[in-house]
Chains A and B, each alone.
Chain A
Amino acid sequence: MVRVMVVDDHPIWREGVARDLAERGVDVVATAPDGAAAVRIARAVRPDVVLMDLQLPELSGAEATAQVRAALPDTQVLVLSASTEHGDVLGAVRAGATGYLTKSAAMEELVDAIGRTAAGQAVFSPGLAGLVLGEYRRREAEAPDEPQLTPRETEVLRLVAKGLTARAIAARLTLSHRTVENHVQNSLRKLQLTNRVELTRYAIERGLDADD
């Protein structure tokens, strides 16, 4: 069973989501009302997935995400926010969140997203895909030395942004479902590479996987 922690500063929302998740068989192991508490509690309970709001008191959602990911590499962060503030969302993804849903997402969607996040998959909304595409375009112009998207990854992201499911993308590009997931994940991972060690490791992995 996936162990989840819910971080949100609105008590009604926080408790409501926790209760609904529990009803659907998700193990909610903790809740936290602010970023600092989230980091502290996460270190103690080691959840599989942290459901993170972005606009939090004490420590922002992005900063809390970075600290949780640094302390607990096996814990994944899924952003669940009412905010569509582009900078906030990109910040959280760069800090290591692997998914983003708005609070208007249906409960089924959320449960499904938690499952996929726990399995290490990326949870991409079309909106997030648009932001990530934009971020790489900016990079292309301003920081050409940093990792860029491959043409295939760009193609996949564009289809995500246009609302196609992974299955539909796989069918359209005649790829396996799994390969589509990998392309999406890679596009996120390259945004999160911030230091030389990570870049080198990434390059080596790429080299080893080149025949794939």
Chain B
Amino acid sequence: MTTADVSLRARAHPHLVPLWRGLVVYRAVALVAVVVNLVRFHDQWARPSLGIAVVAAMAVWTVVSSTRYLRTGDPVTACLDLVLTALATASTLLVDTPQRVADGGPVITTVWSAGPVLALAIALGWRGGLAGALVTVTVLFGVRRVVDTDLLFDAQLLLVAGLAVGLAADTMRRSVEKLRAATALEAATAERERLARDIHDGVLQVLSLIKRRGDELARTDRDAPGLELARLAGEQEVALRRLITSTPVAGPDGTVDLSSRLAGVVPAHASLAVPAEPVLLPAAVVDELAAVVREAAHNAAAHAGEDAGLWVLVEDDAARVTVSLRDDGVGIPEGRLEQAAAEGHLGVAGSMRGRVQGLGGTIDLHTAPGEGTEWEIMVPRSLRSRHRQ
């Protein structure tokens, strides 16, 4: 277990490994430049042996840091790298003569000093690159003590390199995260579809069969227990089918599909007619509409009579979303709702109307004794954002 933990922790972000490899190659090439610099100028230095010792230390650190970068890519090594490189650069003051340094001669670390800037950029993103570049430029200024074109040019290169590599690392990290999320979603969807297929091929078929067989029994004997069986099996079939198709479809910008949401709200025996395309609305609007529909359905079940049917229709066009509910029950006598409201029952009048008006929509009721009730709820698409405030 601990081995697995260690190896997990000790692994560089796999998608950043190409960047680390690039850094390691750069560091090795830069070290060659440092050695060339040493060979050409060591006889002009104030302390050549100290210079050789510093370059040797740089070579050792190049190997050590490269190994660590490739293996773990941790920011601690990058920070340590920044400090050690700054010390090596500063050692120019001891190694070289003050005259050569003042004349703009190369620092002992030359381009090798850009290493920690890149390392910080890869490990910590553009902020790391920026911070590394600023520290390195400050150290260079500390050694040279003049702001000349050389220093400005170096500063420019270090800043650009730090920011560019940092942004690249950020982008890679982000896209990997997105890819991972997308892959997970895809796997979940595939699994859901597989389940739906299995249920469709097995359970749903059997339930429909039970319903039909029950219907047959009831045909020969009106009071057969089969009638009840058939009804129950039929309801379960519808409920199950809705369940496997009703996983809420999420759209862009926090919108969700009203149709799939309503599938979980209307009772199993009710009919739900919706467009093929998802009806995407802000989640808060869908919540409110679902609550209104639940209330209307509940109302229908309580008042329309036991055998009453319930039909729900969802329509979507550019301007508005319309939800219609109809039951074929006993209907509501004229004035009954107003009376209920007057008596203090907020139910239908208050809560449903209130919710719909809160969405900037309208709600209409058509009813008469014996003719059932029909609700029509309209929510304008253009005003839908109003609710979110």
B276 touches A87 (CB 8 A): yes
Q: Please indicate the chain B residues that have their CB under 8 angstroms from the CB of A130 in the complex.
A: 272-275, 313-315
The yes or no answer to A141 lying at the interface (CB within 8 A) is yes
Q: Please indicate the chain A residues that have their CB under 8 angstroms from the CB of B238 in the complex.
A: 104
The yes or no answer to B241 lying at the interface (CB within 8 A) is yes
A137 touches B324 (CB 8 A): no
Q: Please indicate the chain B residues that have their CB under 8 angstroms from the CB of A140 in the complex.
A: 317
A162 touches B200 (CB 8 A): no
Q: Mark A111-144, 1 if CB is under 8 A from B, else 0.
A: 0000000000000011111110111011011000
C-alpha spacing A128/B97, complex, angstroms: 91
The yes or no answer to B306 lying at the interface (CB within 8 A) is no
B245 touches A84 (CB 8 A): yes
C-alpha spacing A161/B316, complex, angstroms: 14
Report A111 CB to chain B, min CB distance, Å: 12
A141 touches B241 (CB 8 A): no
Query: Which single member of A86, A104, A163, A164 contacts B234 (CB below 8 Å)?
Result: A104
Query: Which single member of A84, A133, A163 contacts B315 (CB below 8 Å)?
Result: A133
C-alpha spacing A130/B326, complex, angstroms: 14
In the complex formed, the residue of A with least CB distance to B272 is: A127
Q: Mark B210-221, 1 if CB is under 8 A from A, else 0.
A: 011101100100
A161 touches B311 (CB 8 A): yes
Q: Please indicate the chain B residues that have their CB under 8 angstroms from the CB of A87 in the complex.
A: 276
B-contacting residues, A68-115, CB 8 Å:
82-87, 89-90, 103-104, 106-107
A161 touches B313 (CB 8 A): yes
Report A173 CB to chain B, min CB distance, Å: 14
Interface size on A, residues (CB 8 A): 38
Q: Please indicate the chain B residues that have their CB under 8 angstroms from the CB of A129 in the complex.
A: 273, 313
Report B161 CB to chain A, min CB distance, Å: 49
Binds A, one of B145-153, B201-209, B339-347: B201-209
Q: Please indicate the chain B residues that have their CB under 8 angstroms from the CB of A16 in the complex.
A: 209, 212-213
Query: Which single member of B311, B315, B374 contacts A126 (CB below 8 Å)?
Result: B311
Report B256 CB to chain A, min CB distance, Å: 17
In the complex formed, the residue of B with least CB distance to A88 is: B276
In the complex formed, the residue of A with least CB distance to B318 is: A141
Q: Please indicate the chain A residues that have their CB under 8 angstroms from the CB of B201 in the complex.
A: 10
Query: Which single member of A83, A133, A164 contacts B200 (CB below 8 Å)?
Result: A83
Query: Which single member of B241, B271, B313 contacts A158 (CB below 8 Å)?
Result: B313
Report B187 CB to chain A, min CB distance, Å: 21
Q: Please indicate the chain B residues that have their CB under 8 angstroms from the CB of A10 in the complex.
A: 201, 205
Q: Please indicate the chain B residues that have their CB under 8 angstroms from the CB of A208 in the complex.
A: none
Q: Mark B234-258, 1 if CB is under 8 A from A, else 0.
A: 1001100100010000000000000
Report B351 CB to chain A, min CB distance, Å: 23
Q: Please indicate the chain B residues that have their CB under 8 angstroms from the CB of A85 in the complex.
A: 245
In the complex formed, the residue of A with least CB distance to B317 is: A137
C-alpha spacing A82/B315, complex, angstroms: 24
Please report A residues at the B interface, Cβ cutoff 8 Å: 10, 12-13, 16-17, 20, 55, 82-87, 89-90, 103-104, 106-107, 125-131, 133-135, 137-138, 140-141, 158, 161-164
Query: Could you list some 5 contacts between A and B, CB below 8 A?
Result: A20-B212, A107-B216, A158-B313, A162-B273, A163-B271
